[in-house]
Amino acid sequence: MDEKKRIIIVEDDAVLRDVLAEKLQKSGYIVDTAADGIIAMEKIHAVKPDCVLLDILMPRKSGIEVLEDLHADPNLSSIPVIIISNSGQPVEIKRAQELGAREFLIKAVFDPNEVLEKVKKVLAGGTMAPQGEWGVRTQNVTGAGAAEHPEEKPTVAQAAASVAKATAEGKAFILVIEDDKFLRELLVRKLSSEGFDVQNAIDAEAAFTILEERKPRVILCDLILPGVDGFEILKRIKADSRIADVPVVILSNLGQKEDLEKAMALGANDFMVKANFTLDEIVTKVRGMVDGK
């Protein structure tokens, strides 16, 4: 990258905002952030960035209102905008396209490599994807993709020290079983920032290794995992008398009725389709289960 490009991330969720900023900065971009649309417009006017990553649902001024302001200003209308959203509703996508957005990413589905690819594409003047291709991908994890990002596993001593510290502080222990590195990192950061003791596993083997040592207050479990899937993990948990009473929340991109019914029949306490819930809503769900609500 000969000349560093400037990106503004407009996102009210601090965890997601910080993770995206770190990824882009490590790739050589200059990154500014804004927690709402009003701050965003002030920064856009001040620095005129090369690209904007824009959330839709925000306090004070929504992403659509920011797009409307940019579209109406000839000095700013050429700035490429990539939408990051929780919903991906057709009416939302259509309006964003009408206002000149170049790409549309569903938060719970994209990964950092895809964000970097989209930014690189729009900065290179790439054409906008057809509407039908926006937000349609429902699963982004493959074995090959996971292999590109080797896990940094803590040592036994580090893990023991972390557990001892959390126990001493009386933190509720949450286990996250998720093989998507980006989403897993977001969940761990968010739950940790909310005062929970969090461990994570990328597959059944890692999950049950942790469960042999510790009993969590809540388990968050994906369905599509390498090797043993989430249904089988759920079945094994409920067959083990020591941990059978632990609430399990399924987090998945699979939203078909039969998937939900199968998970609930196997003993899941709730089923959350990733693209339909924010990190805050997931934390609220976990907190309610910890508090017995």
* CB neighbour class for 7 (10 Å; exposed up to 12, middle 13-18, buried from 19): buried
The residue with greater pLDDT, 254 or 230, is 230
Could you read off the pLDDT of 190-244 as tens digits, one per residue?
A: 899 899 999 999 999 999 999 999 999 999 999 999 999 999 999 999 999 999 9
Position 116 in a domain: yes
Asked if 206 and 119 sit in the same domain, the reply is no
**CA nearest to 186, candidates 72, 40, 15, 2:** 15
> In the β-sheet with 248-252, what is the strand arrangement from edge to edge?
197-201, 173-177, 218-221, 248-252, 270-273
Residues 121, 165 within the same domain: no
Shared domain for 46 and 98, answered yes or no, is yes
Q: Is the pLDDT of residue 127 over 60?
A: no
Q: What is the DSSP string of 254-287?
A: ---HHHHHHHHHTT-SEEEEGGG--HHHHHHHHH
Determine contact, residues 132/64, Cβ cutoff 8 Å.
no
- Say what the pLDDT of residue 144 is: 28
Most confidently predicted of 105-109, 153-157, 178-182: 178-182
Domain span at residue 228 reads: 156-290
Judge whether 131 lies within some domain. yes
Maximum separation of any 2 CA atoms in the chain, in Å = 65
pLDDT for 143 equals: 27
Strand 173-177 versus strand 197-201 pairing type: parallel
Distance CA 103, CA 124 (A): 13
Range among 138-152, 166-180, 266-280 with highest mean pLDDT value: 266-280
Q: Is the pLDDT of residue 55 over 80?
A: yes
Instruction: Say which DSSP state 32 is in.
Output: E
What three-state secondary structure class fits 103? Answer: strand
Q: How many domains is the chain partitioned into structurally?
A: 2
Domain final residue, candidates 72, 106, 137: 137
Judgement on whether residues 81 and 163 belong to the same structural domain of the protein: no
**Mean model confidence pLDDT for the chain:** 82
144: in domain? no
Q: Find, among 98, 20, 3, 90, the residue nearest to 54 by Cα.
A: 20
60, part of any domain:
yes
- For residues 180 and 113, membership in a common domain is answered with no
pLDDT band at 150 (very low <50, low <70, confident <90, very high): very low
CATH number at residue 39: 3.40.50.2300
- 15, 7, 16: which is closest to 40 by C-alpha? 7
Q: Using CA atoms, how far apart are residues 286 and 290, in angstroms rounded to an integer?
A: 6
pLDDT of residue 1: 46
Q: What pLDDT score was predicted for residue 110?
A: 67
Does residue 116 or residue 212 have the better pLDDT?
Answer: 212
Q: Which residues pair with 221 in a beta bridge?
A: 177, 250
- pLDDT score of 74 more than 70: yes
| Pair 131, 160 in one domain | no
Q: Does residue 175 sit in the same domain as residue 239?
A: yes
**Does a structural domain hold residue 127?**
yes
Task: For residue 77, give the DSSP letter.
Answer: T
